[in-house]
A and B are shown apart, each in its own frame.
Chain A
């Protein structure tokens, strides 16, 4: 090699070595996302884990490709539709369209198979709940490591108990009758859902059987007892976190559920013993919360009604502009007929004509439902819609009888969804505690229960008296249906008490495919575990609840 060539060669090699040195670097998200490592290092790590629990309730998305897929509010809407309490009434007027109500699989379980184990919405509850549980388990793991976090640990346990209590009630297969084919739950009687605790290994999770009712409630009460202790002196910074009163409220819900069973369990009360506990904890919740009952003015306020945290709300979901997902993935967009941008104005979620007719004329809660005569003047104090909008100008559908104006958009906004969708949604109101106390008491001491209902109803309907001849418990449940219409909690009561759906009766205002009357509880109130879960957990094989769709026929 000639000298100059060698020099050239060397120079080039050295030059390229500089480029060689550009070794690969790790990348990190610079976006609306962060890795676990980044989060652990952030100054918000502790607080973030706590607030993740209320946040996941309103932001979770489980990818079932439906517009009600916006977390817990979407689930509340689904539960009320399963119960037949809420349905779109717009189809009762020309131009109305029942399909604007997107919870179709829950509305029409006799005509759609979305709720079957391999149906497209079957994972909705199940996936959501366990993703919520994950957030609680993460928090429990973190807060257990530090004594200073004792209160936070209590909060996390309260959240976890709340999730499992819901699941225990939804998935416990209680006997139900089918009008078409057969429906038999005996093979899986008394089974709830698998328990996923903090720190479980993947191997454990892959072979994790459904807990029995007894195991499940033992677990739930462990959490609630711990929360009760840890949160004794705790005041939550915001109402989207539970307080001690909420823990009492959760216990009241749990005991009320157990009151419906005759089976005897060693550690868990059932039947009357449970009802007594339910009444006791409901009262504790009322006292501890110090919450006043929602007033008529608060109820009927067309700007702030049922969209803003008020003192009667013990616990709530609080949205901010950032947590609203978009124009349609939002509670208000579906539930408020004032939301012209959303489904609510098109679907018009409403009440059954039979319930409406039963509400006392003096009951102020009746005012927020459009009357059979569609009198705009009568409803106008409670809606932000103008008379023209009410009548359906500009390709809008006219508002149908029995439409509910209970839920309002933020600030009464009708057109700007980025503002209007930012609402709060109740999770537990003190009124529920009054009604739990009354109902639980009624199961063992009707005489003591009557004044409880009577005094509660005094705040609702002037001159109310318990109709003679009505079953007391049934009357209490009816008032609970009215009080909590649209709030998604009544399904558990109807299921527990083996009550029937009656939307197939003559004169119904339910949409054609939802005109269903059942004999006792509906089979679809026993939710089915999605196939995707059954296939990944060996212990679930052959242990699913039977499919319940098509077990009745809608009248039309």
Chain B
């Protein structure tokens, strides 16, 4: 506004002054953008004069100018344009969008860098891409967008987010999570509390030159979030609303899906047991298997939900279901009628749910001040009962150039959140809840349950029965339902548990920050930043008083409160100057400190007054488990950075940072980190003049440096790995004692990551084709290593700094504007990464074991073998050798010493425990050969369409879901669903099968082996967005600048090597179907700008 006034004033004055000059005439016209929409506030200047004006409400302008002069029109975000007046009195000027203006700046540590001057490797993602994703978690929006970055999501639970690995695993024992920095401040809160709609951009910094100033904690990459500021111009009010549906995106394995089919399969297992194991003839086996099939005797299923004519068997001698069998069976039990009828457990647990989100923001700026405010509301219901997320967000960001030498600013955000998790999560790693095959995890129950078991109890008429509390009666498999006894899942029904139990986290997260910028002297600036982040979370777990584990205790309430407060102070002194027009110097010294305190308070009670009263005071018996604690973390660093370029052609940069962390002993807490980088803009060289027609940019860059990692974990003990750590206990006699929990090592210090990055960047045909290639070598040395100690020491590990590991690879990013015309724009971008992980050095204590083939020394840890020269993601499993043709049993390879030669020879065995103990071999790597994403977008008049894909080629995944479905039943462990591949298993008339015999009581036929390693390749449609922007000539009538309606779908579909397998769960190659399934969201929305 001020700028407009000033310019208008200048224009009027100028016009007045020049009026005397007589040759001037009045020129008027309009300024419009590439889409024909008027551009408001554009500056129109008469060349060579001070005469100028700004375009008005409908893009129109009028000024006095010489008839032979020319006008230059400029506006932020558009390319400036000069037009000759040539005697005309009316001139319409169309501005082209300046695509480079936004793309050319990268947010880096403590400031920004121009892309061409940048010597490191980073990727910037703009808000347009971020808001496409309909997730509360902005991490989801990054998936597939950045080369060199891998994402994994175990659970689809709203809010569970992504695990992010920048250039592979940096550490074996310490954390691998990147550092999040929000508006320049380290952020350790929940990423879900940041509203994606408030984000202007996200930079992912990958190499040393980019990360070094976060040296201390930047070893695993830095993700920099920059929230929105207003753009100069008229105030903008925008509203965005979207409404959508969530559905289950996980595909189901090819499993038995009806009772008849399942009975046939289980019958086959029993029949094979009787014929193969017990020597029955087929007729006798048919009778015996039919008798056992639905009985309560070990091997039986306990439920018969089929009706067959009196005296007939359920399964005929041909192994097929009696054609007269019908689903559902009426039974009389204890004087009451029950209808036993199977339910589809997956259909019962997963449902379609509703999602809505609204965001409003107001922003405006003048040349001295900038103001942005927003409000957001999200209501996202999960795809299982009891799972939902409600979030309110607010943000206010403003700055003001108070004096020529002083600029002040503030940035505040507030989030209120309520998370209902539905099922027990497994965040604390207590091997209960999500991800576990049992232990009260409804997902596992639904995935594994045979399709013969009812979820509900039904009366004789088939109606679901109601209990004395007015709730649906669930079948708990304990005999109440017509006397039937389920042979799996305990006497409980986890689907009922998710209805009745509660897992709630609710709270408030606030961030408040301010800065002061002092312009001290030409180019010399002092910045003081201060920031506080406060996160208060109240946790409630309710175990219902009606059914299950806590029913006998009258229900239980567990309460916790966590207060997490962090503050960050920064003092930055920077100097930037150009000498002799060619020497550009940029210097920065700074100091930063970060302190975080986590307070917690908890207690629990049993015997609840009412199932709806979730408070401790509403329960009566104290569980004697209350407590409180404080956990503190300190980090402090001093740093220096110098950047220099000559004529914007040759660039060098260097930085140094010295950091201390309270996670280490005072004697070992300081670490030194540094980086150096250089770039050469070849395309600016004189000798490249000849290529200007097609090559507009070519840059070579190299950087090297080191960063640290002190992140040993999030649990309290991980903050004291340097000290002997004891738990304080009662001695049982009124006194206090302490018991060792962890042996400390005072010598541990920073883990160091050395990063080499060599890359080229290029742009052809005015950037119609652009991209870059980076080679990286990321070496972790002095790895923070949880070194297993001799068990006899009395503790199992100490932390050390031993071991080196390398992640080496290449990243390619390409972008192309396939079509770029006024009304049709089509672009395409792709990124791909290939890298390998290698253990370079292991501690000597890890060389006491030798692989079964005698080739490698190292250490086995469950299904891996750590050995120098191999990937940490190599599987170490028995190698499946197919089926023994005669017996139908699984075979594996094992090693034994040959009696003839005295050397190890590889032989087959049908004994899994032998193969497991003596025959394991290094299988392939879980890491893919290539992974990445590709995106395309199309704009045609007002219609826009974009599609984002992610993909992975190669790598191996242990398909645990398939393994579970392929298991033979044994003991009383029956009633789990079967994969249809079992129909192709070995039998007398199918001896060539590669699938072992399917017989009850065969232990370990399906032991974990290479048989269940599957190609981990996948292709995934991450997002599709289709939008339509109404022509402004229509919307203007309603005072609307822009109105866009759109449809979007997230997590659309994926293809993997086996239906049901989801290799996206972990980069280590383990798939686990017992998690909350990923969610597909389909929604429509509306965004309006005033």
The chain A residues found within 8 Å of chain B, CB to CB, are 1, 5, 8-9, 12-13, 16, 19-20, 22-27, 29-37, 39, 44, 47-52, 54-56, 58-60, 65, 91, 94-95, 97-100, 108, 111, 113, 116-118, 123, 126-127, 130-131, 133-135, 137-138, 181, 193-194, 196, 202, 205-206, 208, 237-238, 240, 318-324, 326-328, 340-341, 345-346, 394-397, 414-419, 511-513, 530-538, 541, 547, 549-550, 556
Flag if B554 contacts A30 (CB, 8 Å).
no
Flag if A113 contacts B916 (CB, 8 Å).
yes
A280 to B1006, CA, bound (A): 55
Flag if B794 contacts A130 (CB, 8 Å).
yes
Of B478, B621, B631, B732, the residue contacting A31 (CB under 8 A) is B631
Of B480, B491, B621, the residue contacting A346 (CB under 8 A) is B491
Flag if B593 contacts A133 (CB, 8 Å).
no
B795 → A minimal CB distance (Å): 7
A327 → B minimal CB distance (Å): 7
Flag if B794 contacts A134 (CB, 8 Å).
yes
Query: With A95-B491, A512-B972, A535-B849 as given contacts, are A394 and B551 in contact (CB-CB < 8 Å)?
Result: yes
A–B complex contacts, Cβ < 8 Å, 5 sampled: A27-B719, A29-B725, A118-B862, A396-B552, A513-B971
Contacts of B632 in A (CB 8 A): 27, 30
Residue of A whose beta carbon sits closest to that of B624: A321
Flag if B518 contacts A556 (CB, 8 Å).
no
B315 → A minimal CB distance (Å): 22
Given A19-B528, A395-B478, 7 other A-B contacts at CB below 8 A? A9-B520, A33-B728, A34-B726, A39-B726, A55-B729, A113-B912, A134-B793
Closest 9 CB pairs of A and B: A134-B794, A36-B724, A31-B629, A51-B731, A322-B730, A340-B552, A512-B298, A533-B791, A35-B723
Contacts of A24 in B (CB 8 A): 593, 634-636, 660, 662, 669
A487 to B958, CA, bound (A): 42
Query: With A65-B431, A135-B739 as given contacts, are A35 and B724 in contact (CB-CB < 8 Å)?
Result: yes
Flag if A196 contacts B627 (CB, 8 Å).
no
Of A16, A95, A416, A530, the residue contacting B479 (CB under 8 A) is A95
Contacts of B478 in A (CB 8 A): 95, 395, 397
B405 at the interface (CB under 8 A from A): yes
Residue of A whose beta carbon sits closest to that of B794: A134
Query: With A27-B632, A556-B298 as given contacts, are A20 and B552 in contact (CB-CB < 8 Å)?
Result: no
Flag if B483 contacts A94 (CB, 8 Å).
yes
A546 → B minimal CB distance (Å): 9
A321 to B791, CA, bound (A): 30
A416 to B552, CA, bound (A): 8
Interface residue SS majority, chain B: mixed
Contacts of A55 in B (CB 8 A): 729-732, 737, 739
Flag if B662 contacts A418 (CB, 8 Å).
no
Query: With A20-B571, A48-B738, A512-B298 as given contacts, are A32 and B490 in contact (CB-CB < 8 Å)?
Result: no
Contacts of A138 in B (CB 8 A): 740
Query: With A135-B739, A532-B796 as given contacts, are A326 and B730 in contact (CB-CB < 8 Å)?
Result: no
Of A39, A133, A322, the residue contacting B794 (CB under 8 A) is A133
A205 → B minimal CB distance (Å): 4
Residue of A whose beta carbon sits closest to that of B527: A16
Residue of B whose beta carbon sits closest to that of A340: B552
B581 at the interface (CB under 8 A from A): no
A130 to B793, CA, bound (A): 7
Flag if A130 contacts B913 (CB, 8 Å).
no
A555 → B minimal CB distance (Å): 10
Query: With A8-B520, A24-B593, A127-B796 as given contacts, are A32 and B728 in contact (CB-CB < 8 Å)?
Result: yes
Interface size on B, residues (CB 8 A): 100
Of A33, A395, A419, the residue contacting B717 (CB under 8 A) is A33
Query: With A9-B520, A134-B793 as given contacts, are A95 and B485 in contact (CB-CB < 8 Å)?
Result: yes
Contacts of A126 in B (CB 8 A): 791
Q: Find residues 39-84 in chain B having any chain A CB closer than 8 Å to their own CB.
A: none
Flag if A29 contacts B972 (CB, 8 Å).
no
Residue of A whose beta carbon sits closest to that of B638: A20
Flag if B723 contacts A36 (CB, 8 Å).
yes
Flag if A111 contacts B791 (CB, 8 Å).
no
A162 to B740, CA, bound (A): 20
Of A31, A94, A533, the residue contacting B792 (CB under 8 A) is A533
A237 to B733, CA, bound (A): 9
Flag if B636 contacts A16 (CB, 8 Å).
no
Of A202, A238, A538, the residue contacting B848 (CB under 8 A) is A538
Residue of A whose beta carbon sits closest to that of B487: A97
Flag if A320 contacts B554 (CB, 8 Å).
no
A1 to B521, CA, bound (A): 8
B625 at the interface (CB under 8 A from A): yes
Flag if B607 contacts A416 (CB, 8 Å).
yes
Contacts of B719 in A (CB 8 A): 27, 29
Flag if B736 contacts A48 (CB, 8 Å).
yes
Flag if A240 contacts B971 (CB, 8 Å).
no
Flag if B569 contacts A22 (CB, 8 Å).
yes
The chain B residues found within 8 Å of chain A, CB to CB, are 296, 298, 405, 430-431, 476, 478-480, 483, 485, 490-491, 518, 520-521, 526, 528, 547, 549-554, 556, 569, 571, 591, 593, 606-607, 621-625, 627-636, 660, 662, 666, 669, 716-717, 719-720, 723-733, 735-741, 744, 788-796, 845-846, 848-849, 859-860, 862, 911-913, 916-917, 970-972, 1003-1004
A384 to B793, CA, bound (A): 44
Flag if B972 contacts A91 (CB, 8 Å).
yes
Flag if B737 contacts A52 (CB, 8 Å).
yes
Contacts of A549 in B (CB 8 A): 913
B292 → A minimal CB distance (Å): 11
Of B476, B913, B972, the residue contacting A395 (CB under 8 A) is B476
Flag if A35 contacts B726 (CB, 8 Å).
yes
Which residue among B480, B491, B518 has the maximum number of chain A CB atoms within 10 Å of its CB?
Answer: B491
A37 to B725, CA, bound (A): 9
Flag if A341 contacts B738 (CB, 8 Å).
no
Query: With A60-B739, A414-B552 as given contacts, are A127 and B791 in contact (CB-CB < 8 Å)?
Result: yes
Contacts of B793 in A (CB 8 A): 130, 134, 196, 202, 205
Of A32, A111, A123, A395, the residue contacting B551 (CB under 8 A) is A395
Of B431, B625, B660, B739, the residue contacting A326 (CB under 8 A) is B625
Flag if A205 contacts B726 (CB, 8 Å).
no
Flag if A418 contacts B606 (CB, 8 Å).
yes
A196 to B795, CA, bound (A): 12
Of A33, A321, A396, the residue contacting B725 (CB under 8 A) is A33
A13 to B526, CA, bound (A): 9
Residue of B whose beta carbon sits closest to that of A511: B972
Residue of B whose beta carbon sits closest to that of A117: B917
Flag if B790 contacts A537 (CB, 8 Å).
yes
Query: With A32-B629, A395-B480, A535-B859 as given contacts, are A208 and B792 in contact (CB-CB < 8 Å)?
Result: yes
A238 to B971, CA, bound (A): 46
Flag if A319 contacts B732 (CB, 8 Å).
yes
Flag if B662 contacts A25 (CB, 8 Å).
yes
A377 to B367, CA, bound (A): 92
A138 to B740, CA, bound (A): 10
Flag if A341 contacts B733 (CB, 8 Å).
no
A189 to B528, CA, bound (A): 73
Which residue among A130, A205, A395 has the maximum number of chain B CB atoms within 10 Å of its CB?
Answer: A395
Flag if B738 contacts A39 (CB, 8 Å).
yes
A206 to B547, CA, bound (A): 51
Contacts of B737 in A (CB 8 A): 44, 47-52, 55
Flag if B739 contacts A36 (CB, 8 Å).
no
Flag if A181 contacts B792 (CB, 8 Å).
no
Residue of B whose beta carbon sits closest to that of A207: B790
Residue of B whose beta carbon sits closest to that of A322: B730
A143 → B minimal CB distance (Å): 15
Flag if B790 contacts A131 (CB, 8 Å).
no
Flag if B913 contacts A36 (CB, 8 Å).
no
A511 → B minimal CB distance (Å): 8
Flag if A418 contacts B970 (CB, 8 Å).
no
Flag if A240 contacts B720 (CB, 8 Å).
no
Flag if A19 contacts B571 (CB, 8 Å).
yes
Flag if B788 contacts A535 (CB, 8 Å).
yes
Flag if A415 contacts B916 (CB, 8 Å).
no
Contacts of B635 in A (CB 8 A): 24
